[in-house]
Structure formats: C-alpha cells, structure tokens
Structure 1
C-alpha cells in the first residue's frame, strides 16, 4: 500500500525499471498546472470548469474518473487537480488494496479537502470496492470489528475529499462505482503535432537543442503517447551528446532510434518479435496467445498487455476467436510478401476484445 504527499509523488510514481536519475527527470518534465498541460484541450476545459466552480463555492471538487491508455497523463492530471485546489495529494493503487482494511486505513488518515489519487482503480479487490461506495457518496466507512455473529460495524465519519480514479479499462469498473464519480474524462492518443509541442517543452526543460525536423521524427515514432515521446527524447539526447554535436536533427534522431531499436512506426524489439513469429513461424495465424508468447520467449501477460494493444491499434494484428492473426499491413511492414490465401481474409470473425482466454 503506497500513500505519500505531493513532494514525493512525482519522483515515485514512475516506471519501476527507471533509476533515480530517470525518475528525477520525469518529475521535472511533468506539467504543474492545467495551462502547462499540452493537448487534451476539451478535457482540460472541462476539468478547469469543475475545479474553478468548486473553488468559487469553497467546496471540495467532485470525484473525478480519468480513463485512457497508459502514458497520456492521468497521474499528472491528478497532481494538477491537487495543485489547483491547493490540497495535499495522497496516492494509492488498485493492486495495493487487497482487503477492506487496507482501504479503511488510507481513508482514516486523509484530511479535509485532500485529493486521493487511485491508480488502476479497476484492479481494486471487491471487498474494498464496496467500502469505497459509501466513502465516496456518504463520506463514511463502516469498520467491521470481530468475526461471525459477534461482529460489530463501527461507523467512521470521513472529512470531505476528492477521489481521482485512473483506469486503462473503464469497462471493468462496476456501474455503481462509475456512477459515483461526478466527472468522467477520457484521454485520447496525441496527434504528432501535439507531441511535437510536448517535445519542444521537454527539450527546453532538459536544455536540449531540438530542431523542428528532429521533433517531427521523434513524434512520429512515439505511438501517440507523451511518456514515450519524452523517453525517446532522452535517448536521442544521449546519442546527440556522445556521437554528434548535441543538436537533435531528423538525421540524428533516426540514427539514435535505429540503435535503440525503435522503427518508423514506433515498434520496438518485442513488437517486431511478435509480428515476426506470427508471420514467419505460424504463417500469419491464427495462433493462440500462449503459443505466441512461448515463440517470443516472453510471458503471456507481457505479450497481451504490453505488445498487443499498440499492434491492434496500428492495424498490424487482430484478435479473433480462433487466435491472433497478422493483417496485410504486418506483412508489408516486415518487408514480407502478403500470402495469397491469408488467414485474415474473412475466415474468422474479429474479436477486438480477445474474449476467448484460450486464444
């Protein structure tokens, strides 16, 4: 269970594989206010209205649910909500809440007006989820003491607070939980032009001389995701400092990203391994997820949760009831000839949600 204040949040809520220096850089690059946040104009306007109205009334803001793919700024927006409201930020996540008591301990320690950021809220344990209903709606929790017939529920009044929930899978949230959020916002993938603005801002903070064509090259390989764009910028910066004159141009960016195995579509080593195995080893599919994972020497969850979402969005892979299937674009991207009788030509109905667990 993790819970800490604003000063610690920016440096600790970053990918687990990042070292201390990388986390520090991430913290520097995070926008601090809505005006600094690039992109998501409609969402920023809606969120600004919610927060401005709450401040004008002298009340805490309504509970806020933010949804969208990873890396688009949900954590950053939660920090901005706390900053705009002048309130402390407390942070936890769904996987960290395994029991109702875990959640009760967090809720009992928050103060009046605090902002509680709940990352991956769709992964909260059911018992804790039910406790969250009364906490969000009535600002109280019933703490059960004892077991069996002698168990007693002790009501605990809570100060008014704002819950900011973040999820990458809104469909997994129960209806009663979704309904308790006063505002729901969705973050969309960024357009290349928006990513160029993100990169220009980050380059200024990192004191990197980034030319417009260099920003364009990096943005085109960033999968519509600011987090990826900033990560690629840092790696291109390293290349430019060591092997060039520290100026990031299109040619320098291309050379750097070739070394770091990021191709023109933004595919990395894992993505290309999945596509290559699917096309070369299994004739384009259909092939089961477990078999595909073994073929690329990765865990099933890694292939499904890390590689597949972007490959599906990019139109390179399709999920069907019979298994994973490579599209014509996948063969073309790998420089392979599209077979005349392809498995994607209407043999199986597409299932973009991959509901068949055996596949």
Structure 2
C-alpha cells in the first residue's frame, strides 16, 4: 500500500466534529445570507464598543447553529458559556448561569425552546435590562432582591422555533433561519474536511458523498469519516468506487435514505396500500417510537417528495411508489 493511495491520519487528530469546526465566518461554508447578516451585526457592535444584540438561530439539526455560536464568541474575542434548554429546569438554574457571566460574554443555550417556563420568564428581564429578581423567603415574608448582571449576548438555538413563546422570540434582536445546503455547498464542506484530516479523496467521491448527505453538513462529515475508515482498513484509495462500497456497507443509498427511511416508506406502500396511515400505526409496523418517525424520518421523506402528510395520515407520493419499485395501482 503506497502513501499516495493510503489515507494519512494525523497522530494529533482531535475529536472529529470539533476538529472540523470553522473558526471564523470566512471559513464557514454555506448560509451566505446569514453570514452576511451576522458580519454586519458583529462589526457594528465592535465599532460602537457595545455588546451585540441577542441572536436566535433556527433551523434543522446539523446545519451549524452551535458552530456559529462559537464563531460569534471568537469574532468578538469573548469567552463562550454553553448550556442547553433541558438543563435549565428551574429559575435558580438560570440565575446561577447568568450571575457567573463576565462582561461581554456570549451565552449559548441550545434547544432553548425546552427551557422551563419559570426560567423563560426570568430570562425576559435579563435579556432586556441585564438584571434578575431573586425571591428570598416564602409566603408573606418573601422579598424580591434585584441582581445586576454583566452585559452579555445570548445566542439561542432551536430546531422548533414555533414552540418559542412570542415574548421570548421578540426579545432577540436578530433571528437567523438556517437552510439546508445544496450539493455544491456540501461538496465544499466535504473537500474542506478531507483536507483537514489529510485524506485524499477524488472529486467524484466528494460529489457522491455530498449527494447522499441530505443537505446537512453534519451528515456529510459523518459519511466522510465512514469512507475514510473503509479506505484505511481495506487499503484502497478514496475514489468513487470506495465511496459506493463504504456507504453501501452502512445502508446509505444513492438518495441518502438509510435502512429506517426505506422501512417506513415500504411500510406505507406495501402494508397500507400507499396510505393514509396514522403515525402510531406506522411506528408500530416498523418497530420504532412514533417520536423517532416524526422527528427523524418524516422530515427528509417529505422534503424529498417521497411522503406526504395529510389530515388523515401519511401518504406515499407517486415518487415514493416509484422509489420502492412497486407499480402504482390504477385506482391511485
């Protein structure tokens, strides 16, 4: 096995995802409009020597919300404090986080829509006036003590912006909606990642990975790692044939569908005649939780036009029938 054909893995390679995160807006691939908006917001705040407006990043998982929050802190030259909505289940949890912030620090709350309601109400005042009210004592003798906070920038990330209450959403000075990537942008993501991990891969292989990544950079990086591992173990070059064999091994087809995606689509077509079929019935038929079907499988099948949601249930589209290879009944 020659050096030209074998992938070279750096002995100091860090965690895969962390090592591939861009450090600046210029390095970040895709989301051109959002990057331009963030650049303007951060530059204006720097010129005025103030903390930037609070930022809400909304969009499906894997598009770069966490990475953008890190870039915001880096661009400002300020530390980043990370937490998540599920970790803040009481107002006291949020008060502890806010009181520990230093001036200008960036607070990142992932899945912010899952915060407890009491914490959300405390956050309203903190975002507007940089202070919180702490209740001391109970009953008639309880008193409220105001606590001043250091100015900070909140970056909230959510995959379900519709679940955010309006009072919280309105307190963000800037809301960015991240979109799925096209194949060209994903090819740039894969090429950049391959260069960072020092893995030689052909242009055709890059395009093949991009086309199977479901418009999501996180999935593109994950598939690249699987191809890199396959190339390393089998001692083969990173060409298009290697990509085909590696992704076939992991049940990722040419459309980006995995095993569960295909099972769900086939269940609708074969067992329920194309639908409509209810979510719970569909979940039982494939042996998965209804939440998994709704949050993980359906969005991609609907976006690619293979499945449709209707008031009566899930229905396979004409394209979905064609994908399964089962002839569409004349009645449909």
What CA distance in whole angstroms lies between the structure 2 residues aligned with 1:284 and 1:54?
54
What CA distance in whole angstroms lies between the structure 2 residues aligned with 1:340 and 1:111?
67
1:23 Cα deviation after fit: 7.6
- Counterpart secondary structure, 1:235: helix
What CA distance in whole angstroms lies between the structure 2 residues aligned with 1:170 and 1:91?
19
What CA distance in whole angstroms lies between the structure 2 residues aligned with 1:127 and 1:219?
43
Equivalent residue pairs, number = 321
1:331 Cα deviation after fit: 1.4
1:301 Cα deviation after fit: 0.8
Superposition pairs of residues 15-30 of structure 1, within 5 angstroms = 24-30=15-21
What CA distance in whole angstroms lies between the structure 2 residues aligned with 1:23 and 1:70?
22
Q: 1:133 to 1:113 in 2, by over 3 A?
A: same
1:51 Cα deviation after fit: 0.8
| TM-score normalised over the length of structure 1 | 0.87
1:71 paired residue among 35, 41, 62: 62
What CA distance in whole angstroms lies between the structure 1 residues aligned with 2:90 and 2:296?
28
What CA distance in whole angstroms lies between the structure 1 residues aligned with 2:331 and 2:200?
50
What CA distance in whole angstroms lies between the structure 2 residues aligned with 1:23 and 1:296?
37
Show structure 1 runs of 5+ residues with no match: 1-20, 343-359
1:202 and 2:193 are equivalent in the alignment: yes
- Counterpart secondary structure, 1:248: coil
What CA distance in whole angstroms lies between the structure 2 residues aligned with 1:57 and 1:260?
51
1:22 Cα deviation after fit: 10
**Alignment-derived partner of residue 291 in structure 1:** 281
**Alignment-derived partner of residue 271 in structure 2:** 281
**Alignment-derived partner of residue 348 in structure 1:** none
**Alignment-derived partner of residue 247 in structure 2:** 257
**1:34-58 residue CA offsets vs partner (Å, 9 max, x unmatched):** 1110111111111011111111111
What CA distance in whole angstroms lies between the structure 1 residues aligned with 2:38 and 2:191?
24
1:123 Cα deviation after fit: 1.4
Superposition pairs of residues 309-348 of structure 1, within 5 angstroms = 309-342=299-332
Larger RCO: 1 or 2 (CA < 8 Å, sep 6+): 2
Superposition pairs of residues 26-175 of structure 1, within 5 angstroms = 26-175=17-166
Q: Is the 8 A contact 1:244 1:252 kept in 2?
A: no
**Alignment-derived partner of residue 186 in structure 1:** 177
1:214 and 2:205 are equivalent in the alignment: yes
1:148 Cα deviation after fit: 2.6
What CA distance in whole angstroms lies between the structure 1 residues aligned with 2:324 and 2:133?
57
What CA distance in whole angstroms lies between the structure 1 residues aligned with 2:100 and 2:58?
26
- Counterpart secondary structure, 2:15: helix
| TM-score normalised over the length of structure 2 | 0.94
Q: 1:116 to 1:218 in 2, by over 3 A?
A: same
Q: Is the 8 A contact 1:68 1:186 kept in 2?
A: yes
1:250 Cα deviation after fit: 1.7
Runs of 4+ in structure 1 over 3 Å off = none
1:147 Cα deviation after fit: 2.8
What CA distance in whole angstroms lies between the structure 1 residues aligned with 2:248 and 2:235?
15
